[in-house]
Structure 1
Amino acid sequence: MRGSAGAILLAAGQGRRLGHDKSITAIAGRPVLAYGLEVLLKCRGIEKVVVTVRDDVRQEVLAWVQKEYGKQSGRVEVIVGGKERQDSVSAGLESLGRGVE
């Protein structure tokens, strides 16, 4: 992905105030993370989006992305985030790789 842009969507929070994982909580019938992901996938020049999630919801989110976005799901990588936000950012940057702006 030399010279291309990538994005990291941080969705690995615990949702303590909400009482459950907010990234998969539905608003108007769609998971919260869908709204951010949709915007990023529409951005011209963003070739890859890395979504960081908690380990216990990774498979659910991955299945949803594949179902919802079909061919475009190849532009999305769902990874397990870290314990803290900065750990998730670091994991996302590592997943994007070198040459990504």
Structure 2
Amino acid sequence: MVDTLNVIVAAAGSGNRMNKSINKQYLTIRSRPILSYCLEVFEHSPLVNKVLIVVKESEIGFCHKEIVERYGYKKVRKVIAGGAERQDSVWAGLNSLEQSTGLVAVHDGARPFITEQLLTKLVCTAVQWGSAIPGVPVKDTVKLVDEEGFVSRTLDRSRIFFIQTPQVFRLEYLMMAYQKAVEEQFVATDDASIYEKYVGKVKIVPGDYRNIKITTPEDLST
């Protein structure tokens, strides 16, 4: 049904907004590290071939011992060092996959509540369209604000979505897009933005409001 799916888990962020002494992906929810939740889904999904985790260089040994070995994740083939920014880390991950075809999913290690059902929908959509990202409609009114702090206009929220991960693409297309972004020093906040700029349209799949990114201490109580 699908091509080979490899997963890059981006977990090299510093998590400064958590005000914790350890990086947020190693904090626990219900006695398990945040990072372990998404790895559990990837480990048991029949769609996933292998997983690559990108962390800070100083955390490679810790991640391998306390996450990969402790919980027995056989599909995690590598734990590698990331870069200064998320984009640098994903690029490092792409270059470590040792293949150029199939599908690749890029997921934030701080999003523990991904489901296998969402992953399946994304993969099936990416097979058809070459790309698939999860998104949920915004619930609040959204306004564009000028530099002086005044509302310049109200946006049509029916066409505005909060975008999540995992984001799934044809590997060769995302590699090409990232290569061009590196050459042109184009910086984006997610992989889809790079794909949009250098490849083409990105298909939205209905996401899950529970699939939040753990960013602040308040998120741990959700």
Between structure 1 and structure 2, the one with the greater Rg is: 2
**RMSD over aligned Cα, in angstroms?**
1.4
What do residues 36-83 of structure 1 show as CA deviations (whole Å, max 9, x unaligned)?
1111112212111011111222111101211211xx43x212111111
* Contact 1:48/1:96 (<8 A) preserved: no
| Residues 100, 82 of structure 1: alpha-carbon distance in 2 compared, 3 angstrom cutoff | farther
CA distance in 2, matches of 1:51, 1:5: 15
% of aligned pairs identical? 36
Q: Partner amino acid for 1:47?
A: N
After TM superposition, the structure 1 = structure 2 runs for residues 1-20 of structure 1, keeping only pairs within 5 Å, are 4-20=4-20
- Return the TM-score normalized by structure 2: 0.41
Question: Which structure is richer in relative contact order (CA contacts within 8 A, separation 6 or more)?
Answer: 1
When the two structures are aligned, how many residues end up with a matched partner?
96
The Cα shift of 1:32 comes to 0.7
Task: Give unmatched runs, 5+ long, in structure 2.
Answer: 104-222
Q: TM-score, normalised by structure 1?
A: 0.85
- In 1, the alpha carbon distance for the partners of 2:53 and 2:19 equals 21
Give the corresponding residue for 2:88: 87
Q: After TM superposition, where is structure 1 displaced by more than 6 Å over at least 4 residues in a row?
A: none
Query: How far apart, CA to CA, are the structure 2 residues paired with 1:9 and 1:80?
Result: 12
- 1:1-101 equivalences under 5 Å are 4-20=4-20, 21-64=23-66, 65-69=68-72, 72-73=73-74, 75-76=75-76, 77-98=78-99, 99-101=101-103
